[in-house]
Every structure is written in C-alpha cells, then in structure tokens.
C-alpha cells in the first residue's frame, strides 16, 4: 500500500505530455509535446504539472529519462518551464548523453513566459549581518582615517560560511595555475566589488631588477621568483599584510601575471616575488606596470573589500547601492560549471539568467546542437560558455573535436573573469566543419580575472562561425582565431585591448601551423581601438599567420595599424573602408631575417620542414585540395613573401594624417604587397551620414565609380 503514491506519481509523469498547456506561448501550444514545470514552491514528489511543479532541475531531468524509457519522446519534444525566481545552485546541473533530445524532438529548459529565472551560484548575505569595525587591531591596519569610520565587517564563519577559496597564481601560459578555481568574490546589486588594492587607479613600475628569477624553462619556476627595487613609499605601511598579490606586466607586454609577494625589504626597498615570470623580470619596450591587491590596509574607496580567511571575516566599504533598504549582497560559492553537458544533443536553454559562480556558466563537451538562446550570463570568475573544451589554453588542441552545431544565440554575456565563449569544434585533419556558432549576442567586460589572451570569443577547430555580435570593453584581444575555415562576420568590435600592448582586436598566431588557414574576416565594424595606446592593432595576423581573407570591413578611428601582417603570406585584403586609421595596412618581414641560415629567435623554417615531412608534404590531404598554394610552400619566398594582396580598398582620413604609408595606404617598406585599385581620398567617399555615424554608402556614392564593383557594405 505504501508504494501506491509512487506508482500514481509515475503514471502522472508519463501522461503529463497529454495535459493541456496553460500560460505558455501560443507557438509552444501548437504542438507542446510533454511539459514539465519547476518552481521554488514545488516539491520533487509532485508530478511536475503547472499546478503541482517539481522543485529542482534534476527532478525534471530524471522525469524526462523515465519518459524516454517508457513511451519515448513525444512529437513536439519536451519543454521544462521554470517559474520565476532565484534557484540557488550548489553543484553543476549535469546532463549526459541519456538526457538528449532528437533533431525533431528537442528538449528545452526555459523561463516561464514573462517571468525572470535566475540560476544562482552565490550565497546571499543579509545587510543586518554587517556591523561597524570596533577591533582596534583591525582599524589600526587601515591606512585611511576616513575609511576606518566607514568600513563594515561581517563574520562569515559565524554564519556558517567557511569556503572562501584560495588566492592563487594565474597569468600567461605556464604561469596559470589551472588547478585552482578562483576564490570567493563579492557582488552588491549585481555589481562586482573590488578586492582592496593600491593604487586605487593606475599602476606603478618596477625599479632596478636585482634578480630576474627563473624563467619558463627552469624547474623552480613555481617555487621562487625574482626581485626588483621599488620607488614608492607605500609598502612601509603593509607590515602586517601576509598575502599580498601583484597584478601586472613584469617583462613582455603579453606576459601578464598575477604573482604573490614572497617578501618586502623596506630598508632596501625591494620586493621579491613568490613565483618566476615566463621570461624572467626585465624592462621591455612597452613599459612594465603593476598594482598591489588583497590588502586590508588599502580599503579606502566605496566597493573595496578584503576577506580575512583565517578569521572568516569580510571587511567592506559600502557603496551607495549597499545603503539602500534591501540591497542584494552576494558572495560567489559554486566551484564547478553551472551547466555541465557531456555528449548531450538537441537540448536548448532559453531565457535563463546564469550568474555568480567561481568557475564557468556552461561547459558543453561533445554532442550535437546544444543551444543557449536569449540567456544572460554574468559574474563568473573563470569563464562564460566553453564549447568542446575545458581549458583556456588551446594552442595545441586536438585535431578533431566531436561536438558540432552548438550555438550561443541572442545572449548577453558580461562581467566574465576569463573568455566569454570558447568555440571549438570540427576536424583540423579532414577539415570537416564543426558548425558551432556565436551569433546575435552582446559580450562585454570580460577577462577581469584571467587577463592574458582571454577574449570575448576564442575561435578554434575548423569551420565555426561568429556572426552579428557586439564586443567591447576588455584588457586584451576582442577575439582570438586558431584553426581552419572560420567565418567572422557582421561583428561590432570596439574598446578592446585597453590595458595591454602588442595585440589586436582580432589576433591570430598560426605561424607554426601554416596548414591552419582559410578563415574569413568580413563585414565587421572596428572602431575606437588603439587610441592613445601604442602597439594595439585592429586585425593582427602575427608570426607568419597565413592564408586568411580580410574583406568588406570598416575600420574607423584606429590609433595604430588597422591591419598588421607580421610576416604572413597569402593574406587577401580587399574591399575594406579605412576611416581615420593612422596606418591602414602594415606589412612587417622582421622575423626570418635576410638569409635562410640566419639564426634568430623567430626562425620557423626547421619547424616548417619537420611539419611538412611528417605530413608527406600534405599530398593527398584535404588541405592540399583546399589550399593548393601549400604545394609551393618551399619554393615561394618565405623570407620576403610577395603573395599578400591589398586591393580595392578605400582610405579616408578626415581628421588624422596617414603615417609612414605609400600612395596605396600601406606601410610596405620592401614593396612586397600586390596592389590594385586602392583609393586614398581627401573627401567623403559617399557615406549616408558620417558625422552621425551612418556609414552605409549612398546609391550614387563616388566610390562605386572610383572602384568599379566595390560592394555596398551593409552597415
């Protein structure tokens, strides 16, 4: 008799697909399939109907498993509606191959129409838990007398919160400790607060390097660091601080580092780091810079905080938002991806807010056609959406990745500690496309925690697409491209590369793998890039990147090079519009040197010969069929490539003088480019309204006469 309620509930679950849909969209009601409901007021012993909903995603997932084992997926698939509210997550929502839909019977997890649904990896703190600091030993450490009267504290440990995470080493390449999930972070009304730092704005520089320390090749890279002198007085006030971290550049401009302070000698004014830097400590042509962080002493601005991990206390200087009656105060807790999909296919997540995790919002590995649509993804320390990878470092990723047709669509991704979306997939050996997509999305304010080479979209594998996105506000590149045959089109990219130098809004570094080519960058709008910042380019194929097409883009307001080709070949640049670009196109042949036997740091010739020998010169491969120029790889001039084109481009600089360019608009000292039909004009080439930002071309625009066949680039 005790089993009867369970049997009745199971029958209701299996029959739920026959129940009428109430309150859902009309389009869903045409063929609703099976429908389940989840609510914070629900119970997992319920049948999952609108009147008696489940409480958890896991119960809905398991109910779908039972449905598939019984009658199977109905026509119309399955829709799981989440009623409005915040669903706190303490572990990943795990979906596996058995949780898949089919091509014609998708499974969709979505917000109930008109209601806001938040999947939350944080823990809310109550304002009433905060109180003024009275402990004189704490107050005496705070440098600002004004701040001492304003800083509040909350005893996290007394509230049962004991997992604060660990401050850890991270940075470029081997400096990145991927074993550590980022630590707890604080948010007030959805805005990230600032771990107490000095200086509050700007940075300081190293003095003299007294010990460069180990480099990437040294076995003690992770056990000791270098030493430098400093020329500022502030460390004299940090005597009681025992976990100080420096954030900055201590060598090459691309080797960003978050390095712990091992010791400070205030008598000799030296700082010794706990870990080695990739190339050791040294001063470079782009100035070094750093700031100090995780200092109770330096709480002096609204929004700054510090966590005493030993005592379990959080100290915080309130913001205006905190002072409201009922502010939402959140600390991040979830240490695994919020959604973890493994070999999952034909599942959609729609109209959901994913927020407040220490790791990533979603990891999608393998499978087919998993889609995130109309979602907001915010406040994740590690990353946003990782498609077909669990790593941020993909320079030597596997040739074949099984996941295909996945998509992030019409979504808003912001305040992400690392990469917004890693888009991997396809087969780099067969060139079979992955057909994974990021489209119609707004991605901004990313790479605040992992600052080196963590773009809005990391594009790799073969045959994937990035289309119709708005991308802005980041310290490093807007986009990284590796692999073959990707399409990047109709994106609006601006205000990226704001902190570092020697990089581009779109950056590629494929010289060691010259068979990785075929990508097309077209009809994108690049603007406000590199203004006042040296060494920042628009599109930057670096270190012999080869075989790409850059066409029908608009570059507007480029403080340096709109396009910088560093030693590449077979790069086609055509039908672009350059407006107020300091240098529309620069070609550099600086790496291989004058003679084939010249030994310099960037001599890739031995690697190329080994690669071609290993692959039988690519004879009989899809690469040779698709890129026939590979047959001439060693008969072409590898030292001064003359296979790059710059043709049918428009250059118009109404307010900025061209710098170091020839009469074609390029800086090409050896005259290696193939030129044709470029037009440098001293007057408007025919925009609808340049002053008001309408860069469409009029039907009778002069450019159509000057360059016959020039496309009407849709702006």
pLDDT digits (tens, 9 = 90+) for 524-548: 999 999 998 889 999 999 999 999 9
Q: 692: buried, middle or exposed (CB in 10 Å: 19+, 13-18, 0-12)?
A: exposed
pLDDT for the residue 24:
47
CA–CA separation, 515 and 148 (whole Å): 61
Whether 436 and 425 have beta carbons less than 8 Å apart is answered as: yes
pLDDT of residue 593: 54
Mean pLDDT of the chain: 92
Look at residue 400 in the predicted model and tell me its pLDDT. Answer: 65
CB neighbour class for 22 (10 Å; exposed up to 12, middle 13-18, buried from 19)? exposed
Cis peptide before 351 (omega within 30 of 0): no
pLDDT score of 598 more than 60: no
pLDDT band (50, 70, 90) for residue 588:
confident
Res 230 pLDDT > 50:
yes
pLDDT above 90: residue 378 = yes
Question: What is the mean pLDDT of the segment spanning 93-114?
Answer: 98
The pLDDT tens digits of the residues spanning 436-473 come to 999 999 999 999 999 999 999 999 999 999 999 999 99
The predicted pLDDT at position 589 comes to: 72
317: which strand partners?
none
Write down the pLDDT at residue 175: 83
How much of the chain, in percent, has pLDDT values that exceed 70? 92
pTM of the model: 0.94
Question: What integer is the mean pLDDT of 362-382?
Answer: 98
Residues 175-205 pLDDT 10s: 888 789 999 999 999 999 999 999 999 999 9
pLDDT tens, 616-660?
Answer: 999 999 999 999 999 999 999 888 899 999 999 999 999 999 999
Would you say residue 30 has pLDDT above 60?
Answer: no
Using CA atoms, how far apart are residues 536 and 502, in angstroms rounded to an integer?
6
Are the CB atoms for 99 and 333 separated by under 8 Å? no
* pLDDT attached to residue 176: 82
Handedness of CA 623, 624, 629, 634 (dihedral sign): positive
Please provide the DSSP assignment of 530-548 as one string. STT-TTEEEEEEETT--S-
What does the alpha-carbon distance between residue 322 and residue 561 come to, in Å, rounded to a whole number? 44
CA atoms of 706 and 715, how far apart (whole Å): 20
pLDDT at 9: 36
On the question of pLDDT at 221 being above 50, the answer is yes
pLDDT of the residue at 23:
43
Task: Output the pLDDT for position 46.
Answer: 98
Q: Which tens digits make up the pLDDT trace of 318-344? A: 999 999 999 999 999 999 999 999 999
Q: What pLDDT is recorded for position 171?
A: 93
Whose CA is closest to 74, among 109, 105, 103?
Answer: 105
Handedness of CA 230, 234, 239, 243 (dihedral sign): negative
With a cut of 70, say whether residue 403 has pLDDT above it: yes
- The pLDDT of residue 10 is above 60: no
**Nearest CA among 486, 492, 444, 451 for reference residue 466:** 486
The pLDDT score that the predictor gives to residue 77 is: 98
CA atoms within 13 A on the CB side of 388: 34
> Does 199 sit behind a cis peptide bond, omega within 30 degrees of 0 on the bond before it?
yes
- Model pLDDT, residue 22: 39
Q: 597, 497, 487, 593: which is closest to 538 by C-alpha? A: 497
473 to each of 97, 191, 414, 419, 575, how far by Cα in Å? 37, 16, 10, 13, 27
Residues 6+ apart with CB under 8 A from 464: 423, 424, 425, 426, 433, 434, 435, 436, 437, 483, 486, 487
Cβ(450)–Cβ(458) below 8 Å: no
Class of residue 673 by CB neighbours under 10 A (exposed 0-12, middle 13-18, buried 19+): buried
State the angle between helix axes of 57-69 and 4-15 in degrees (0 to 180), rounded to the nearest 10: 80
254 phi and psi angles, rounded to 5 deg = -95, -5
Q: What radius of gyration, in Å, describes the C-alpha atoms of the chain?
A: 28
């Amino acid at each position: 008799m005790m089993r009867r309620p369970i049997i009745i509930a199971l029958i209701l679950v299996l029959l739920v697909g026959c129940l009428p849909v109430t309150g859902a969209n009309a389009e869903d009601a045409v063929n609703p399939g099976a429908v389940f409901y989840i609510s914070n007021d629900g119970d997992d012993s319920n049948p999952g109907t609108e009147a008696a909903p489940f409480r958890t995603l896991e119960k809905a997932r398991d109910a779908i498993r039972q449905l598939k084992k019984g009658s199977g997926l109905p026509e119309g698939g399955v829709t799981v509606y989440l009623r409005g509210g915040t669903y706190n997550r303490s572990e990943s929502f795990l979906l596996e191959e058995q949780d898949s839909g089919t091509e014609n019977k998708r499974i969709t997890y979505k917000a109930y129409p008109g209601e806001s649904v938040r999947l939350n990896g944080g823990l809310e703190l109550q304002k009433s838990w905060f109180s003024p600091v009275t402990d004189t030993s704490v107050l005496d450490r705070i440098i600002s007398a004004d701040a001492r009267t304003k800083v509040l504290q909350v005893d996290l440990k007394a509230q049962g919160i004991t997992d604060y995470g660990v401050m850890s080493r991270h940075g470029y390449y081997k400096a990145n400790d991927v074993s550590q999930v980022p630590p707890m972070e604080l948010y007030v009304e959805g805005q990230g607060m600032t771990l107490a730092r000095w200086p509050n704005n700007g940075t300081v520089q190293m003095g003299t390097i007294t010990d460069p320390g180990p480099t990437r090749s040294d076995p003690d890279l992770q056990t000791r660091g270098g030493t430098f002198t400093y020329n500022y007085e502030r460390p004299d006030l940090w005597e009681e601080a025992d976990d100080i971290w420096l954030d900055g550049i201590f060598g090459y401009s691309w080797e960003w580092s978050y390095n712990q302070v091992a010791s400070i000698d205030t008598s000799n004014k030296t700082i010794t780091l706990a870990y080695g830097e990739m190339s050791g400590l040294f001063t470079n042509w782009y100035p070094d810079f750093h700031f100090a962080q995780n200092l109770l002493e330096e709480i002096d601005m609204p929004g700054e905080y510090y966590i005493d991990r030993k005592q379990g206390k959080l100290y915080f200087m309130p913001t205006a938002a905190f002072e409201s009656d009922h502010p939402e105060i959140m600390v991040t807790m979830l240490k695994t991806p919020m959604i973890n999909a493994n070999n999952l296919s034909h599942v959609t997540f729609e109209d959901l807010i994913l927020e407040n995790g220490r790791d990533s919002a979603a990891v999608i590995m393998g499978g087919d056609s998993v889609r995130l649509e109309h979602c907001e993804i915010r406040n994740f320390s590690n990353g946003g959406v990782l498609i077909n990878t669990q790593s941020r470092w993909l320079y030597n990723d596997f040739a074949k990745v099984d996941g295909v047709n996945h998509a992030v669509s019409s979504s808003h991704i912001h305040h992400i500690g690392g990469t917004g979306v890693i888009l991997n997939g396809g087969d780099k050996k067969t060139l079979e496309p992955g057909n994974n997509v990021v489209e119609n999305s707004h991605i901004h304010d990313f790479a605040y925690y992992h600052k080196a080479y963590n773009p809005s979209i990391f594009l790799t594998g073969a045959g994937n697409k990035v289309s119709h996105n708005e991308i802005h506000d980041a310290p490093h590149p807007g986009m990284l491209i590796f692999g073959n045959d990707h399409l990047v089109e109709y994106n609006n990219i601006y205000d990226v590369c704001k902190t570092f130098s020697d990089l581009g809004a779109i950056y590629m570094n494929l010289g060691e793998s010259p068979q990785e080519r075929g990508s097309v960058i077209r009809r994108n709008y690049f603007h406000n890039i590199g203004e006042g910042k040296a060494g920042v380019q628009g599109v930057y194929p670096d270190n012999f990147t080869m075989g790409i097409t850059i066409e029908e883009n608009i570059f507007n307001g480029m403080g340096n090079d709109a396009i910088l080709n560093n030693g590449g070949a077979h790069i086609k640049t055509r039908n672009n519009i350059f407006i107020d670009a300091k240098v529309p196109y620069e070609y550099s042949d600086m790496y291989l040197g004058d003679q084939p036997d010249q030994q310099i740091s960037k001599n890739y010739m031995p690697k190329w010969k080994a690669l071609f020998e290993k692959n039988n010169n690519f004879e009989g491969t899809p690469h040779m069929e698709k890129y026939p120029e590979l047959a001439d790889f060693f008969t072409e001039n590898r030292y001064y490539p003359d296979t790059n084109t710059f043709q049918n481009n428009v250059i118009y600089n109404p307010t900025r003088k061209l710098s170091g360019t020839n009469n074609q608009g390029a800086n090409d000292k050896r005259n290696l480019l193939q030129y044709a039909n470029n037009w440098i004009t001293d007057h408007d080439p025919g925009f609808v309204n340049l002053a008001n930002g309408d860069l469409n071309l009029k039907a009778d625009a002069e450019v159509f006469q000057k360059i016959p066949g020039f496309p009407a680039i849709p702006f």
